[in-house]
Structure 1
Amino acid sequence: MFLKNIKTFIRHLSQNKLYTAITIISFSISLMFVILLSVYLEQEYSVDEFNANKNRIFRLAHDDYSGFAPPSGPLLMEKFPEMEYFTRTYDQQGYAYTNKDEKMKISYLMVDSCFFKMFSFHLIEGTPETALLPKSIVLTKEYALKIFGKIPELGSIVNINDQVDYKVGGILDKWPANTHFAKQDALVDFPSLADMWEYPQVLTTYNNNSFGLYVMEKPNTNLPDKAPKILKLFKDVNWMYKNGSVKEVNFEPLCDVYFSKSYSPGVRQNSKTLLTVLSAIIFMILFLSVLNYINLTIAQSGTRSKEIAIKKLMGSRKGQILAQYTFESIFLSLISFFIAFLLSFIVLPIFNHLLDTHLNLDTSFSWQFLGLLVGGAIIIGAISGIIPALTIARFDPIAVVKGAFRMKSKQSYTKGLVAFQYFMIIVLVTSSIFINKQTRFMRNFDLGFNKDNILIINNTIANNQRNSFQSELMAIPGVKHVCFVRGNPVDGGNNNSFTYHDKPLSFQVFQVDTSYFRMMGMDVHLTGAAYSTNAILLNETAVKDLDLPDNPTSVKLFDKETPVYGIVKDFHFRNLKEKVGPVYFRIMSPKMSAWSIMVKVSGRNTFETTQKIKAAYTKFTHGLPVEMKFMDDSINQWYDRETRIGKMVEYFTLLTILISVMGLFAMSLYFVQQKIKEIGIRKVNGAKVSEVMTMLNKDFVKWVAIAFVIATPIAWFAMHKWLENFAYKTTLSWWIFALSGILALGIALLTVSFQSWKAATRNPVEALRYE
């Protein structure tokens, strides 16, 4: 009997190819998204879970930044016996070489010697106790093979930036993929920062609060309870707590750091809100898919009514029919899951690009996780099949055999379901258009400077070669300007904080050479003050914050009267989520090392020009590969997150439209089947095809209108709240809501009209034959 039911079901599927295709395609695409999003969510929520001491490690934070001065860690270790270890962190980039004198780019995280006692990073060479002794470096296996050509012996020398020789103290197997620390080539002992910067006081001064700080409490203690005492201690020693610019100390559990809104150097982060939205998307996709399967199955149940009637007349019980249809649903769900599993591997590269992640399904699919997915597919199939099974099991076999059977439906169920699908389409289309509109608005916003055709090169040119290098670049056809800077709109410059008239102020500082303003096309108004080496230029916001007159010639900074040489029109050095802050410029001294080199090119023969710039750079750095990027590309990366969210909403919108169209197709079929007798009577009485189609379509148009009325205020509120994240934003245009409604109406008419036309052109005698 079981095999006979299987054969009957497969024959039904083969005879109803459109129904079969719609059902399997809808389920497969939906389950593909569910599989990929589930793997992604599992990966994101497991970040830092591998650390054995995860429940005892905290990152210190304050406000939206978690930077502290280097002496903070040793001070807390001395004052609080509850603390077992601490490590400071700071990420840097540069170049490294061995005794082979082959320079290579290196990114490294500076940490304290107890790092490996706190975090479960796996060493294949060296021990946690000795890996990070003074002037030691721990290389990843990948980088060690790259720079040495083999796994080096412990004690081998690596020089960084021609400044400090480090001994190899250990080799990491690989950088953990599920840590919140950004991927690095090496770990370097933190105290050597003083030698790296040639600034011994950096380890003892509280002037610089740019370093991450992690602490680990002893077992059975509660270090976060000491936050009020730590805050009081910091108020005594740290200027930013003294002047009230920072007012709190927060302990972030290690596994929460990845989702924190507080930034610190050398970390990668994700938004828990985004993951919540993605989780909601999973449930919404499943909900729509299950509804569609129910609708399609019920709509097709009329074609199987004789089969069910005969089984009932032959003695089949209601429970047997329920079991049969539920099994059929599970069978289709498993087929769809298998197809979705294969589709996941095909779509994976697009998915990784969209979410800026690196999912590897080969390693993600453990037997336990695969079992959960298969179990989920079975549950989804069972849930999808139970309602159609209950509906079909209630068929009256006598009415079916007589030919008098007609499906009935509660209009409230039909209307609510159709209106809900239109509601989803309108909200998602509106959201997608608004997100893209805001992203375009930000990308095209006038930032107050010329960002086109400007190359930014990480500087490793020696100071005594600066003029020669600049001359060589200027001799290249297509190069218009060259300047050396410490800070540009992409990196945001440096930060200086000070008290001005008893008010704490925080300024961004840019140190540039004299060609900078001409290159950037910035509007500068000279105040008339005589130029001097310590003169500064202020932006308009700084003039307001300092309560200066419109044309100031001097200002008292750091208790010194400083000439103001010019006023720079406000420009943006952060993304448009933040308002323009106060800035001052200094002209850079020839003795001062530049962070980067900015090169303005003509825009013609760009590839050839950049190749010549690279060759000149390599010549002056003795073979060091050049790191360069165009300023406009870097600025566009400010909005990568919004772009990815927009793309995700777009794909989900298209998926929702696809699933909804399939479901609406089923609903229209179901609706028309219930109207067969009415259509026949109307046609016998002279109704035209157009009148019948209007009668059938008007209900769907009405449901679109109801969905539009409900969806518009909800979409407006959601987009209004989202735009609150931006200091500079686009407008909530009325035409976008109208366009979404028109699109939903068009989808309804296109989907329903086919069924309406078939019903309207049908011979009325067929509909009234058994009446």
Structure 2
Amino acid sequence: MIWYYIKTALRNMRTNPKFTLINVAGFAFAISVSLAITLFLLKEYSYDRYNKNYRQIIRLTDAKKNSSEIDYRVKDILLQHFPEVKNACYVDCYNHPVELKYGKEGTYLHTGAMSVDPQFFNMFSVPVLAQQTATPFQDKNSVVITESTAKRLFPNENPLGKELDVYDIYPVTVSAVIKDFPANSSFTANFIVNAQNDNFKFKQAIGNSDDLSTYRWPFEIYVQLKKNEKPEQLIAKINAHKELLKPYVEKAGFLPLKDIYLHDPTTGVSNRKGNAKLLQLFAAIGLIILILAVINYINLTVAQQAKRNKESGIRKTIGASRKQIIGQLVAESTLIGFSAFLIGTLLLRLMLPAYEVAFNTPLNFNILYHFPTSIVLLLSILILGLVSGIGPGFVLSGINPVKILSGTTFISGKKNYLRQSLTVFQFAVSVILIVSVLIVRRQIQYVKHQDLGFNQEQLLRLDIPWLKDQDMNKTSVLASELKKSPYIRDASVSQGVPGDIRFDLGYKNETVPSIVADSSFIKTMGLHIIKGRAPQPSDFGKVCLINETGYKHFGFTNLDNKRFNNYGGYDIIGVVNDFHYSSMRKPIGPAFIILASKGFPNAISIRLSANHIGETMKFIHKTWQNVMPGYPYKYEFYDDWFNSMYKSEERLAQTMSIFALLAIVISCMGMLGLAIFAAERRTKEIGIRKVNGAKVSEVMAMLNKDFIKWVGIAFVIATPVAWYTMNLWLEDFAYRTGLSWWIFILAGFLALVIALLTVSWHSYRAATRNPIEALRYE
């Protein structure tokens, strides 16, 4: 019987090649997109689960401060006082690459780095390829490098025991080589230093005095629990004895290792962070696109009903049961689904590079060959075939064979209503996706043109690498030389700039983003003093400024006797206007601008004249070569730099546009199917109307009016759903565009135009058909 079903299905597919091609193409594209989304979801949800102990590892947090930055000394307190803890370590992932140098000739490499407690290698699954001693770190000056870094620095040498210079200042020795962290790891470093080496405590200490014993050194604390211990019970016990962790933690919290990548609400130092909402959105889109393809198949199958009515009637007359007719339709849909799956898989393989660009991550195609995945996919094809075939099967098998053979068959109102509802659903999805694309693109434009609080026009950032001790004064020399150009209005040396603040200094037991700069910084950036006074060159090393938000946040009513006590102390002499020092996703928080030479300058901000940009850029490059010979020359304009912060949103807009286009194409196929059905069902009526003098435009209006009504209903349904969905997405931005009514009207209008263009072609053919042929139609 099954073989008979397959033979009949193949015959029907051959006799209806256009119908088969449309269905297979629709399913194939839907399956290709859905499989790509599945690969992306599998990758994102697998983060950090490669660690053998991932179920027992948690990261400690300070729930009151919503922060994962905790003093490293908490590790020893946990091991001493809480027997539930099997092991613990502390980690600091650097926000910026470090510069490594090997050999007198100077093989330079800029790479990601982190400092870790030696216990890190016992807690996490880090395969060691080679090491000098029993442990990866031989001593405090030992470092561990990844396999790829070893090949780049020592292509033909044994890296063990080799000496590297970090920033050409700190000598370290390679004591071990590990495999690169996998692509689904939250850690991305290629260079790992011993956190017990004081030279590499790049994270600034938090404190309010010059007594270093009162300072806190923030790291991330990872805790491995003993088997069967519950993290909730440990945290409750810690909070019951919170005096043990004072002053380091106010209220303990935790986050499982497996949840850090996607569900980390804290501020911390982990390298990678995913977006759980985005994954849910993509999962929904993948499922909806498959549903659209199924609906498309049902509509096209029912649209061909007139050609299959007699077949069904004859089969029922000679004894075929309703179950057998449904089985035949299910066999056809399964065969089409299997063919589409093979083509869709091939499309996925061919388009994998494009999908990787869209998702901004490598995808593992080979995972589809794994046994569990293959079984799930085969079951999915069977379910897809069952769902796609059972609906048309019930429709065709439910018609009275006497009516079929007498030529009086018709489609009942309920079945017609179901088919129309499916089409309404398709276009409701299309409207939602069109609205989503329009709002995402509008939000991108909004944040790109938002006032940043400083003048980013003709403002250039010149990156300063980590300098040798004897070259530290060259930064100020370079700034002075640059100011000699008549086309450079000003220049300022700083450690940290808007969009790249590297200092988080302590004030009133809080971490506050801080920029250390010279006295030209305010003028160069185009900031404004709104209270107090502007700094003078004579103030250097004595004063600082605070932004408006910080002034209000710390409860200031005036600046009398207000001091910032880090590193000897600075008088707070003025309040500057709020300026964005990170993306628009975050609200502006407190910030300090410190007039001092603490830290290593990492940038020169240069204010250019509007004219002679090309000539000025040549002058800057030549001046750099004269003052900084041998150091890499790198610059970026501030407006380009801030715009680059929204690359993920731009990729989302591009991906959503592709998904929306595919959904619209599939929906149009379903709409075309209904147009074919409507024209065939009303063929004689059209002929009679034309004989009685009906115009082509009148016939087209008659055929198209129902489609206009369905799109209108789809618009009404889609509008509140789209509003809710996009409002939820916009919540990730502290500064966001409004959900204007015209966006929804435009989306509905576009959907209507697309629908009319789709059905009008077939309506026109039906309206211009010879009425004699129409009257002969059976």
Change (3 A) 1:360 1:627: farther
**Correspondences of 1:683-722 after superposition (within 5 Å):** 683-722=690-729
Q: Which amino acid aligns with 1:348?
A: L
Distance 2:137 2:615 in 1: 45
1:416 aligns with 2:421: yes
Give the corresponding residue for 1:488.
Answer: 497
Give the corresponding residue for 1:352.
Answer: 356
Give the corresponding residue for 1:516.
Answer: 521
Deviation at 1:526, TM superposition (A): 7.4
Give the corresponding residue for 2:71.
Answer: 69
Deviation at 1:88, TM superposition (A): 1.0
Change (3 A) 1:760 1:223: closer
Q: Which amino acid aligns with 1:737?
A: F
Q: Which amino acid aligns with 2:163?
A: I
Contact persistence 2:545–2:572 (CA under 8 A) = yes
1:581 aligns with 2:589: yes
Contact persistence 1:103–1:624 (CA under 8 A) = no
Residues 567-576 or 675-684, more deviating: 675-684
Deviation at 1:655, TM superposition (A): 1.7
Give the corresponding residue for 1:96.
Answer: 100
Change (3 A) 1:204 1:520: closer
Q: Which amino acid aligns with 1:103?
A: Y
1:736 aligns with 2:743: yes
- Could you tell me which of 143, 164, 178 is aligned with 2:184? 178
Residues 346-355 or 730-739, more deviating: 346-355
Query: Identity percentage over the alignment?
Result: 32
Contact persistence 2:205–2:505 (CA under 8 A) = no
Residues 12-21 or 566-575, more deviating: 12-21
**Correspondences of 1:44-443 after superposition (within 5 Å):** 44-63=44-63, 64-92=66-94, 93-100=97-104, 101-126=106-131, 129-134=134-139, 135-150=141-156, 152-181=158-187, 183-194=188-199, 207-208=215-216, 210-231=218-239, 238-239=246-247, 241=249, 247-259=250-262, 260-312=264-316, 318-362=322-366, 365-396=369-400, 399-408=403-412, 410=414, 411-443=416-448
1:642 aligns with 2:642: no
Q: Secondary structure at the match of 2:86?
A: strand
Which structure 1 residue ranges, 5 or more long, are not aligned? 242-246
Distance 1:39 1:660 in 2: 25
The number of residues matched between the two structures is 759
Change (3 A) 1:18 1:618: farther
Residues 513-522 or 558-567, more deviating: 558-567
Contact persistence 1:509–1:584 (CA under 8 A) = yes
Give the corresponding residue for 1:662.
Answer: 669
Change (3 A) 1:348 1:581: same
1:173-193 CA distance string (max 9 Å, x none): 222122122x22122211114
Distance 1:664 1:737 in 2: 21
Q: TM-score, normalised by structure 1?
A: 0.88
Q: Secondary structure at the match of 2:71?
A: coil
Contact persistence 1:528–1:565 (CA under 8 A) = yes
Contact persistence 1:429–1:740 (CA under 8 A) = yes
Distance 2:204 2:717 in 1: 63
Deviation at 1:348, TM superposition (A): 2.2
Contact persistence 1:112–1:132 (CA under 8 A) = no
Give the corresponding residue for 1:535.
Answer: 543
Q: TM-score, normalised by structure 2?
A: 0.88
Q: Which amino acid aligns with 1:76?
A: L
Give the corresponding residue for 1:244.
Answer: none
Change (3 A) 1:473 1:15: farther
Deviation at 1:268, TM superposition (A): 0.8
Q: Which amino acid aligns with 1:726?
A: F
Contact persistence 2:368–2:374 (CA under 8 A) = no
Deviation at 1:468, TM superposition (A): 3.7
Distance 1:279 1:530 in 2: 54
Distance 1:406 1:302 in 2: 9
Deviation at 1:313, TM superposition (A): 5.4
Distance 1:439 1:163 in 2: 42
Contact persistence 2:461–2:603 (CA under 8 A) = no
1:459 aligns with 2:468: no
Residues 597-606 or 253-262, more deviating: 597-606
Deviation at 1:34, TM superposition (A): 0.7
1:594 aligns with 2:596: no
Deviation at 1:274, TM superposition (A): 1.9
Give the corresponding residue for 1:555.
Answer: 562
Distance 2:355 2:762 in 1: 36
Distance 2:383 2:769 in 1: 40
1:138-161 CA distance string (max 9 Å, x none): 111110011112352533222222
Q: Secondary structure at the match of 2:461?
A: strand
- Could you tell me which of 730, 741, 759 is aligned with 1:723? 730
Contact persistence 2:499–2:581 (CA under 8 A) = yes
Give the corresponding residue for 1:24.
Answer: 24
Distance 1:473 1:373 in 2: 63
Contact persistence 1:693–1:756 (CA under 8 A) = yes
Distance 1:197 1:689 in 2: 78
Change (3 A) 1:519 1:769: same
Distance 1:199 1:510 in 2: 13
Contact persistence 1:456–1:631 (CA under 8 A) = no
Change (3 A) 1:602 1:336: farther
1:631-663 CA distance string (max 9 Å, x none): 333322332333333333322222221111111
Deviation at 1:288, TM superposition (A): 1.0
Distance 1:745 1:201 in 2: 60
Change (3 A) 1:622 1:359: farther
Deviation at 1:378, TM superposition (A): 3.3
Distance 1:575 1:153 in 2: 40
Give the corresponding residue for 1:755.
Answer: 762
Contact persistence 1:448–1:570 (CA under 8 A) = yes
Change (3 A) 1:547 1:47: closer
Change (3 A) 1:625 1:423: same
Distance 1:655 1:125 in 2: 50
- Could you tell me which of 633, 638, 641 is aligned with 2:640? 633
1:495-521 CA distance string (max 9 Å, x none): 33433xxxx665432111122223222
Q: Secondary structure at the match of 1:211?
A: strand
Deviation at 1:299, TM superposition (A): 0.8
Distance 1:668 1:380 in 2: 25
Deviation at 1:337, TM superposition (A): 1.4
Q: Which amino acid aligns with 1:423?
A: A
Deviation at 1:4, TM superposition (A): 8.0
Q: Which amino acid aligns with 1:155?
A: G
Contact persistence 2:333–2:386 (CA under 8 A) = yes
Structural RMSD (CA):
3.5
Q: Which amino acid aligns with 1:81?
A: P
Contact persistence 1:458–1:597 (CA under 8 A) = yes
Deviation at 1:457, TM superposition (A): 0.9
Deviation at 1:131, TM superposition (A): 0.5
